[in-house]
Chain A
Amino acid sequence: MTESFEPRIVGFLCNWCSYAGADLAGVSRLKYPANLRIIRVMCSGRVEPSFILKAFRDGADGVLVAGCHPGDCHYMEGNYKTMRRWVMIEGILEDFGVEKGRFRLAWVSASEGDRFAALVREMVEDVRRLGPFRLPEGTPDQATLAVAAGGGGSGA
C-alpha cells in the first residue's frame, strides 16, 4: 500500500432512489472522492452475485450496492430481495477471501444527496485503509466463479 493508492470502487445503484440520490449530490455540488464508478440498474434486486465477484476479479477494490430504503422500493419489494440475498453474498465473498469493508449494501433515497456523498467518503476511506485488493492464490477462473454464484443467478 502506498500513499498514492486510489481504490477503484464499483457502485451498483438502483435507478429510482440511489442513482437519483447520487444525481442530487451532483446537482448540489457536494464533493466526494472520484473513486466510485456508478453502474445503473433499475432495481438493486437486479444485482447478481456474479456482478460483485466479477468486479473484484476485474480489478475493483470495493463494491457498493445501493437501493431504496426498505418500504420505499419502486418495485415494491425488490430491495427486500436484495437484503435477503446479501446474506448469501457476504458468505460467498468471505469464502473468496474478500475482507469485510470492501463491500457494502446501503439504502439511499432520491433526496439523500448529502447522505450519499458521506457514504462514499466513508467507504473510500475504509477501502483505502485495506489497500489494493489482491485475488487469493489459486483463484478460479471466471467460468468457475459464475458457477459458484449459482449459474449467474442467486437462486433466491
Chain B
Amino acid sequence: MSEVRIAVYVCHCGTNIADKVDVAGVREFARRLPGVEVARDYQYMCADPGQELLRSDIRERGINRVVVASCSPRMHEATFRQVLESAGLNGYLFEMANIREHCSWVTEESELATHKARALVAAAVKRVRFHAPLEERYVEVNQKALVVGGGIAGIEAALKIARAGKKVWLVERGPSIGGKMAGLDKTFPTLDCSACILTPKMVEAAQHPKITLLSYSEVEGVDGYVGNFQVTVRRKARYVREEDCTGCGTCYQKCPKKVPSEFDGGLSHRKAIYVPFPQAVPNVPVIDRSNCIRFQTGRCGACEKFCPRDAVDFEQEDEFLTLEVGAVIVATGYETFQPQEAPQWGWGRYENVLTARQLERLVNASGPTGGKVLLRRDGEFTDEVPKSVAVLHCIGSRDENYYPYCSRLCCMASLKLAHLIREKTGAQVYSFYIDIRSAGKGYEEFYTRVQAEGIQFIRGKGAEVLERDGQLYVHAEDTLLGAYREVPVDMVVLSTAVTPAPGAERVAQIFGIQRGQDGFFLESHPKLEPLKTATEGIYIVGCCQGPKDIPDSVAQGAGGAAEVLSLLTAGRVQISPVVAEIDAEACSGCKVCVPLCPYSAIKYDEERGACGVNEALCKGCGTCVASCPSGALSCRHFTDEQIYAQIEEVSSL
C-alpha cells in the first residue's frame, strides 16, 4: 500500500452541527490523528465550494483517503463518492462520520456532543486507512415492468409506462381493475362523475397492446435484483375462460345463489358467479367458490348449462406464471376502518348507520337504490327519504384508540357526501367535525360552498350513536358552544379512517418493502424519495404509502412510471460492489456458509474443495462472513479490519 494521506473535513451544516459540536476543536483533534495530511472545517461540505475544497486537496495535496464528518451516509455518501471520482480518486476511498443525525441533533450538551464527534471522526479516520478501491458493477436492465394493483394509481403508472413503448404487466388481486375509485359516485371538489373519468382509463389499460392485464391474480414471490426480477404470479382460477367469455351476463342472471355484494358494501346482492360492478374490466365473471352451490354440493351448474359460449369451466385450476421484469411498481391501495370494531357508533346494530363508502353506493346511479338516498327497515330499502342526516368525520382517524393519523381525504369526501345528500333529499344535514382540513386546489372554496348550502357544522366529534324509540341520536360535545348535544337524525354516515390494505404485511415481505409505524409502506426518504423503497427497483405509489386523494394518487402513479422509465431507459444499472468474497486457499470446504445465504449465491466447488461466491447474486449482507470458521470469507468494504479499526476508536475514546 502506498503512503496513506488522509483529508478530514468537518462540516458545520450551517448551524445544524456547529451549534452543538465545537467543529474547530474536532478539526484540530483530527489534524493530529495518524495519517491525516489535511483537516478543515467548512460551512456546507455538500455544496459546490465544499466539494471543490475536496477536489483541490486531492489534486494538489496528494490526498488518497477522504473522511467527511457531516450528516448520515444514507444522505450524502453517494454525493461525496462522486466528488472523489471526479477528482480521479476511487469513490470507495471515502468514509463518512455521522456527526449530525447521530450526534449534534440528539445530544443535549455541547461538550458531550463534541467528545462523541471526536470519537466518530477518529473511528472513520482509522477505518479509511483500510479502504480499498472498488469497481462499480453494471448489469443490463430488463425492459419490462410490473405494476401490482389496478386502482387509479396503478392504472396511471401502467399506462404511462406502456405509452413510452415498454411492456407492462398489470396484476390485480380482485376480479376487476378500478380499485376504490370505481366505487365512488362523484369526486371532490369538482363533482366530476368518478366512473366517467375512470372507466376510459380502465378500458385503455385493458386494451393497450403493451399492457397485459392479469386480473384475479396475486404475486406470490420475487427473486432477483434491480433490473432483473423474477416474479411469480398466481392466476387464481376464475372458473370462467377469459378467452371464451363475451361478458353477456347470462350466467349471473341464471345463478340461483345470492350473496351480499362486497362492492355495494353489503347493501345489495350479487350472485355466486358475478362481475363486481357493471363497468368491470375485464368484463368476465368469476365464480366465488365458497358460495357456489355446484362447488359446495355438486349440484346446480346453471351457469355452465346456460353459457352460450361454453366458457364456464369448473375444472379450472390456479396457474403460476413467472414474469421477468426490470422494475416493479407496488400500488396495492388501502382499506377503510371497519366500524364493527367500534360499537359506540352503532354500525351493524342500527341499519340506518352507514359508512361513507356505503353511502357512495347509495348516491350512485348504478348502486342498490339507483342513486336514491333511502332509509332501510328490516333489512330492506323503503321509499322513505331521510329528513335529517348526520355525517360524522374522523371515525377511527385522529383517535389514539384506533389510528392516530389524519386520513386526509375524508374531510373533503364528507363535505362532498353532505352536499350530495342535501342535493338529493333536501334533508337537514349535520356535519360533526374536529377540524375541517381542506388543503388542496379548490378545496377551501368547496367547503365555503357547502357551508352556504345550509349544511349545519357542529364542531365536535360524534362520540356515540344511540337509538331510542326508533330514533337515532348522535351524541357530541359541541366545542364552540361548550355544550353537550344530542341530535336526533334519521340516518348517520360514518367517515371511516383510511387503513393499510389487508395483506399489506405480506406484500411488504414479498417485495422487501419496509412499513411505517402506521402500517403503510415506507418510502426511502420522506421528502426527496417519496416513491422509492429500501429495495432498489421497487417503487410505491398511491395509498399503499399513506392516505391520499385521487389527484395525488394519479400524480404518484405517473411519478412511479417516471422512476421506472428512467431505470429502463438507462438500460443498465449500477450494482454495489459491496459483496462477499472467498479466499479459496483458506476455505476448508465446510459449507457452513452455503445454506446461510438467502440468495443461493454461494456454491461449493467439488474440484477445488472450496466454496465460491456468485457476485451477481450476492447482495453483500455479510451473514456468511460472520459465520466462516476459517476466516476465509470477507465482505468488501465491511472487512474485519475495517470494522475492528472503528471498534478500537469508539471503544477507547
Contact = CB atoms under 8 A, between A and B. Distances in A.
B463 interface: no
Given A55-B647, A151-B629, A23 B101 contact: yes
A26 B628 CA distance: 35
A12 to B, nearest CB: 8
Nearest to B120: A37
A31 interface: yes
A76 interface: yes
Contacts of A51: 643-644, 647
Contacts of A33: 107, 112
Given A41-B638, A153-B633, A111 B522 contact: yes
B192 interface: no
Q: Interface residue tally of chain B, by bracket?
A: 35 or more
Interface string B228-262: 00000000000000000000000000000000000
Contacts of B631: 151-153
A45 B626 CA distance: 7
Interface string A72-93: 1011111001000100000000
A20 to B, nearest CB: 6
A27 B526 CA distance: 11
A75 B651 contact: no
A43 B622 contact: yes
B647 A54 contact: yes
Contacts of A39: 123, 643, 646-647, 650
A85 B628 CA distance: 13
Nearest to B586: A151
B322 interface: no
Nearest to A155: B629
Contacts of A16: 514, 534
Nearest to B597: A75
A109 B508 CA distance: 13
B15 interface: no
B627 A156 contact: yes
Interface string A6-21: 1010100001110110
Contacts of A40: 73
A156 to B, nearest CB: 6
Given A37-B650, A110-B534, A85 B626 contact: yes
Nearest to B590: A155
Nearest to A47: B626
A8 B514 contact: no
B468 interface: no
Nearest to A54: B647
Interface in B105-144: 105-109, 112-113, 115-116, 119-120, 123
Contacts of B108: 31
B71 to A, nearest CB: 9
Given A42-B622, A43-B622, A22 B102 contact: yes
Contacts of B592: 153, 155-156
Contacts of A23: 72, 74-75, 98, 101-102
B626 A46 contact: yes
A47 to B, nearest CB: 6
A31 B106 contact: yes
Contact of B622 (A20, A30, A46, A112): A46
Interface in A86-138: 109-112, 117
B619 interface: yes
A60 B651 contact: yes
A29 B517 CA distance: 18
Contact of B630 (A20, A59, A153): A153
B80 to A, nearest CB: 15
A36 B631 CA distance: 29
B208 interface: no
Nearest to B114: A34
Nearest to B622: A46
Given A8-B650, A37-B120, A46-B638, A26 B102 contact: yes
A43 B627 contact: no
A74 B74 contact: no
Interface string B575-603: 00010000000000000100010100000
B627 A155 contact: yes
Interface string B70-84: 001111000000000
B345 to A, nearest CB: 29
Nearest to A56: B651
A10 B621 contact: no
A31 to B, nearest CB: 5
B623 A26 contact: no
Nearest to B115: A34
A40 to B, nearest CB: 7
Contact of B102 (A38, A42, A46): A38
B233 to A, nearest CB: 20
Given A51-B643, A156-B627, A27 B512 contact: no
A22 B623 contact: no
Contacts of A20: 74, 534
A43 to B, nearest CB: 4
B621 A78 contact: yes
Nearest to A50: B640
A6 B630 CA distance: 37
Candidate in A48, A54, A151 with the most chain B CB atoms within 10 angstroms: A48
Contacts of B566: none
A48 B633 CA distance: 12
Contacts of A34: 103, 106-107, 109, 112-113, 115-116
A146 to B, nearest CB: 9
Given A51-B647, A78-B623, A19 B516 contact: no
7 A-B pairs closest in CB distance: A26-B101, A45-B623, A46-B622, A58-B651, A37-B650, A43-B621, A34-B112
18 contacts: A16-B534, A23-B74, A23-B102, A26-B100, A26-B105, A33-B107, A34-B103, A37-B119, A38-B102, A45-B623, A46-B638, A48-B640, A71-B505, A109-B514, A111-B514, A152-B640, A153-B629, A154-B626
Given A85-B627, A153-B627, 15 more contacts: A17-B514, A26-B101, A26-B105, A37-B120, A38-B98, A41-B638, A42-B620, A46-B638, A48-B625, A54-B651, A72-B508, A72-B515, A117-B106, A151-B630, A153-B626
Interface of A: 6, 8, 10, 15-17, 19-20, 22-23, 25-27, 29-34, 37-43, 45-48, 50-51, 54-56, 58-60, 68, 71-72, 74-78, 81, 85, 109-112, 117, 150-156
